[in-house]
Structure formats: structure tokens, C-alpha cells
Amino acid sequence: MKSEERVIQVFGSHLGLEELEEIRDCLESQWIGLGPKTARLESALACHLGVDDFVLLNSGSNALQMAVHLLDLPEGAEVILPSFTWVACASAVMLCGLKPVFCDVDPATMNLTAASVERVMSPRTAAIMAIHYAGLPAPVYDLAQFGLPIIEDAAHAIDSRVAGRACGTIGDIGIYSFDSVKNLAMGEGGGLVAKDPARLERARKLRLCGISRTGFDASQRQERWWEHEIHEPFAKMTPNDLSAAVGLAQLRKLPAAQARRAAIWTLYQRELHDISWLQTPCDTLAEDRHSFFTYCVQLRGGGRDQLARHLLNRKIYTTLRFHPLHLSPVYQGNTSLTVTEDLMARAINLPLHPRLSDADLGRIIETIRAFRG
Ligand SMILES: Cc1ncc(COP(=O)(O)O)c(C=O)c1O
């Protein structure tokens, strides 16, 4: 290993002067809480996704909890979701007094399928949560046959499309994440869209402990600005203008960042597909669009941990997203999910983010090729 080699991170943001300029407005106006930048970002995101409204929250995890809450399902009802996903997908279900039921995923797409959902369905199934893993669209249209409410987790899929339609806007409610490593990063942040505008209106009221009028709204009023109304108690999930300022700049830069992500993805696909012991991820159909959030390969015939160590020894970080939820002590009792457990043993996420240089990519590819000669 050359001593001057820098560490290559597996995820990364692309922040710069554009974000600084947006933040400057907040500091100059002394308004860093929920306010005009949040409202502007909500409109801009709605426009990006081709919907009428978007409700910004302080994280994607909280957006999941909000989404499940908005479905008003009876206590103890079951929600089907893949085990191969982020912990908050299941905890959102639990925290709403419901039962997560885990389904398997397709080994090629790493997404749930209508068949994998059907296998774990019961008379108590009340909703389905579909995750667009890495930004590859999950088959949400296929799930419509079950006639159940669908939550789309589009945390990885801010730029994904199915025949022109934005992922997250196909099911009943769609959530997004803008944490520090997402394609659109604002430190912490998330939000949701919904087919039924009444749900979004409710979410906007709920996000500040259920207070239906916010401090910024109140400051615009002339009389008794201290009064507020609570129709439904709720947690605090309020976004803020400092993060929204970063989000506004990030959204403007998204097309360029996505072009870079797409180029990296294409390079990996071209350079790695002929390695016999490696299975590269699948691409979208021609009419759809991927978000290229992460690049997950699978090793044939074992050796995943050794590859991770080989790369780490050369200062190249990798990871595995996700650790299967059905194997966590809190969710034990579910049947085994063979594809998910196989992914746990064979899959690894390689670095993919817009800050990777061509030299970084050359080093990653060369180091992978050098593993097993
Ligand atoms: C699939 C998925 N859903 C939801 C989330 C939650 O997003 P946040 O980090 O904004 O809470 C994540 C975060 O990594 C995720 O990967």
C-alpha cells in the first residue's frame, strides 16, 4: 500500500459554497427554525417529484413512523416489509402498535416481490411497506393486486422513476431521507408525500407535537400570536431552515450529482461484470430510472469478509446495508428468509458517491481485481 493513499469512504456527500450561500441567508435573517426555507424546499421537492405537496420532517426514520401512523390501522394489525432494510422500517410499525412481518427479497434486485409478499400474507395483513433498495424501483404496481395500503420507502430513491413516475408517489404514502449520506444530504432530514392530500395536511399539523399553528405562522399574525391548537398529540418531528437551506442547494445540484453517480455505476458495471466470483447488481428497465445510492455486489463461493478486509487494508471502506431485521433479538420468531440470509453472507456495498475521483475508482477496481489474482 502506498503511504500517501487517502482513505476512500463508502458513502459521501458533495457540499460546497452553494450550501454556504443558502445558510448565510438563515444566519443573516436570524431565522434557523421552521420557516421560509422549509416552505421553499417543500415546494421544490414537490416539483421535483411531480406532486402537489411535500411535507418535510427531521428524518426519514420519523417519516416512516409518521407514514404508518397516518394509515390509522387497527392495533395488532400486520404490516409486511422486507427484512433486508433499515431498522426504522420495522420500529415505525412497532411504535404504532402494529406487528412487522418480514418477507424475503429477490436475489437479483434485492427488493421484495409480489410473490414474496404473498408468501407471508395472513388475514391480519393490513399494509405493505416496499423499499426501493439502492434506488432500484421495487415492483409497487404489482403490489396493487392485494388491495392494501402501500407505503413506499424511497429513502434511496429521490431520483428514481417508473415509466416517468417518481418512486414514492406510486403507493399511498412515500417517504424520503435526506440524512448526511443520501443523494440529497442535509445532515438530518426526511419527509413524505401522500396520494390523499388530507393525510399530508394532517402530517403538517402533527410534526410539531400536534400543534396546528407553528411559531413562524404565529409571528406573521397581529393578535394573540401565543395561542395555538392541538387536535392530536404527537412527537416532535419538525424540520428546520438551516437544514432546508442545505437541501435547497443540494436539490439544485442533484442533476449533476446524479450524472456522476450514474457514470460511476456504469464504470463499475463495465469493469466488474467479467469477474467470475463477483455478481454485479442489476440495472433498471430502459423506461425506468435508478438513483444509484449504493452499489451492492455479491460474492460467489464465499470470501466476502476477506474481500472487505483486503479493501480495508488498502484504505478502501465497504459495508453491508442491511443487516437482516428478522435476525435481531427483538424480532425473533419469524421464519427463515433464505435469500436475505444468503445476502447477509455474500453481499458487500462498494464506495459510490459523487466525491469519488477517477483515480479513486481506478484504485478500487484494481484492488478488487487483485483479490484472488
Ligand atoms: C431504506 C431506508 N429507509 C429509511 C431510512 C431512514 O432515514 P434517516 O436516516 O433519514 O432516518 C434509511 C436510512 O438509511 C434507509 O436506508
| Model confidence pLDDT, tens digit, residues 15-57 | 999 999 999 999 999 999 999 999 999 999 999 999 999 999 9
| pLDDT the model gives residue 204 | 95
List, by residue range, all CATH 3.40.640.10 domains of the chain. Answer: 17-251
Residue nearest to atom 8 of ligand 1 (CA): 60
Band (228; pLDDT cuts 50, 70, 90): confident
Q: Which residues contact 45 (CB under 8 A, 6 or more apart)?
A: 54, 56, 176, 191, 247, 251
**Counting atoms of ligand 1 from 1, which one is nearest the CA of 61?**
11
Using an 8 Å Cβ cutoff, are 151 and 67 in contact? yes
Res. 344 pLDDT band, cuts 50 70 90: very high
pTM (2 d.p.): 0.96
Rounded (10°) CA dihedral 91, 96, 101, 105: -50
The ligand 1 atom nearest the CA atom of 177: 10
Q: Which pLDDT value is given to residue 247? A: 98
Please give the pLDDT value at position 21.
97
CA of 86 to the centre of ligand 1 (A): 6
Domain 253-370 has CATH 3.40.1830.10: no
- The confidence score (pLDDT) of residue 334 equals 60
Q: Compute the average pLDDT of residues 320-331.
A: 94
**181 CA to centre of ligand 1 in angstroms:** 10
Least confident of 14-18, 159-163, 199-203, 223-227: 223-227
Of 182, 195, 236, 315, which residue is the catalytic one?
182
pLDDT at 231: 83
Give distance in angstroms: CA of 179 to centre of ligand 1: 8
Mean pLDDT of 186-197: 98
Rounded to whole angstroms, how far apart are CA atoms 208 and 247? 20
Nearest CA to ligand 1 atom 7: 60
What pLDDT, on a 0 to 100 scale, did the predictor assign at position 5? 79
The pLDDT of residue 4: 67
Task: Give 250 Cα–ligand 1 centroid separation in angstroms.
Answer: 18
Q: Which three cell numbers stand for residue 124?
A: 391480519
Whose CA is closest to atom 14 on ligand 1? 86
Q: Give the helix ranges, DSSP H, for the chain.
A: 17-29, 36-49, 60-70, 87-95, 114-119, 140-143, 197-206, 215-219, 241-272, 304-313, 338-346, 358-370
For ligand 1, what atom is nearest to the CA of residue 182?
14
Residue type, 192: L
Angle, vertex CA 176, rays to CA 175 and CA 180, nearest 5: 150
For residue 326, what are the CA distances in angstroms to 322, 333, 355? 11, 8, 34
Within 13 A of 143's CA, how many CA atoms are on the CB side?
27
CATH class, domain 17-251, is: alpha beta
Is a pLDDT exceeding 70 seen at residue 97?
yes
182 is catalytic: yes
pLDDT at position 219: 67
Residue 353 one-letter amino acid: H
Instruction: Give the pLDDT band (50/70/90) at residue 259.
Output: very high
Average pLDDT value over all residues in the chain? 95
The ligand 1 atom at the shortest distance from the C-alpha of residue 190 is 10
Contact between 73 and 127 (Cβ < 8 Å): yes
Band of pLDDT at residue 252, cut at 50, 70 and 90: very high
List pocket residues of ligand 1, CB cut-off 6 Å: 59-61, 64, 85-86, 88-89, 131, 153, 155-156, 177, 179, 190
Nine-digit cell at 135? 434506488
Please give the pLDDT value at position 179. 98
pLDDT at 335: 73
111, 133, 177: which to mutate for ligand 1, most atoms within 8 A of CB? 177
C-alpha cell read off for 36: 421560509
**What's the CA-to-centroid distance between 88 and ligand 1, angstroms?**
7
Closest ligand 1 atom to 153 CA: 3
- Whether pLDDT at 3 is above 80: no
Q: Say yes or no to pLDDT of 313 above 90.
A: yes
- Local confidence band at 332 (pLDDT 50, 70, 90 cut-offs): confident
Residue ranges of E strands in 95-238: 99-103, 125-131, 150-153, 161-162, 165-166, 173-177, 190-194
Among 120-124, 225-229, 255-259, which is the least confidently predicted range?
A: 225-229
User: Which is nearest to 297 in space by CA: 348, 263, 344, 361?
Assistant: 348
Predicted local distance difference test score (pLDDT) of residue 214: 60
Where are the CATH 3.90.1150.10 domain residues in the chain? 253-370
| Backbone torsion region of residue 78, taken as left when φ is above 0, otherwise alpha when ψ lies between -120 and 50, otherwise beta | beta
Cell representation of residue 151: 407505503
Q: Nearest CA to 255 among 291, 295, 284?
A: 291
